[in-house]
Chains A and B, each alone.
Chain A
C-alpha cells in the first residue's frame, strides 16, 4: 500500500534524552515536512525538505534536528535542548508540480510524552 508510515505511534522519554521519530514514505514524493501539534495551537512547522540532502528550518526548529539521506525517509530527532517536547508530531509529504502547490499528505502521527 502507498502511504506514509510514522513510528513509533506512542513514545515515552525521560527528560534529557534524545529521541528519534521515523517517517517513511513510498509515494515517491519529493518534499517532506515535520509539524508539531499542541492542544489548541494548530500545526506548526518544524523542518521541511524539498530534495535529498537538503532541508530548511521551519518556524519552531530549535531543539530539533533532521536528515534527508534518502528520498523515502525524513527522521526527526527531538533533542534534550527542546524545552517542551511533549506533543503530537505529524510527518507530511508533497508531490511537487512545478510552481503548483499540491496538497500535503499526512502520516498518522507520533505522540511523544516526556516523563
Chain B
C-alpha cells in the first residue's frame, strides 16, 4: 500500500532562516508521481510541484527547492530565507497512475510551518 510520512508535525523558525520539510514515501510501483502542496490559513491547497519517478533532478523555484532521492524514497522540500508569508501547513503527496486513469493522491499528515518575524 502507498504511504507518505511527514515526520515533522510542527516546525517554528525565525524569518530568514532556511528550513527543510521532510517527506518519505512507500510504494511498490516503479512509475509514480510526487507532489507538494501548501495550505495557508484560508484553507485552500495550493499546488507547488509535481515530480515523476523517472526524474531525479533537483528543482529550484525562487526560494523553494526540492530534493528527490529514490534510493532513500525521499522528496524533501527546502525554503531558503524563509518569510512570514511562508507560514502554512505543507503536504507531501504520492500518486500512482494506472490504465484506468483513476489517479488518486495519498497525502502525508502535513507539517505546520510557522515563520516568526
Contacts and interface: CB of A to CB of B under 8 A. Distances in A.
B95 interface: yes
Interface string A96-110: 101111111111110
Interface residues of B, number: 28
A41 B109 contact: yes
Contacts of A90: 43, 45
Interface stretch (A15-23, A42-50, A69-77, A78-86): A42-50
Given A101-B33, A103-B50, A42 B45 contact: no
A58 B107 CA distance: 13
Interface in A1-49: 31, 33, 35, 40-45, 48
A67 interface: no
Given A99-B99, A103-B35, A103-B50, A42 B107 contact: yes
A65 interface: no
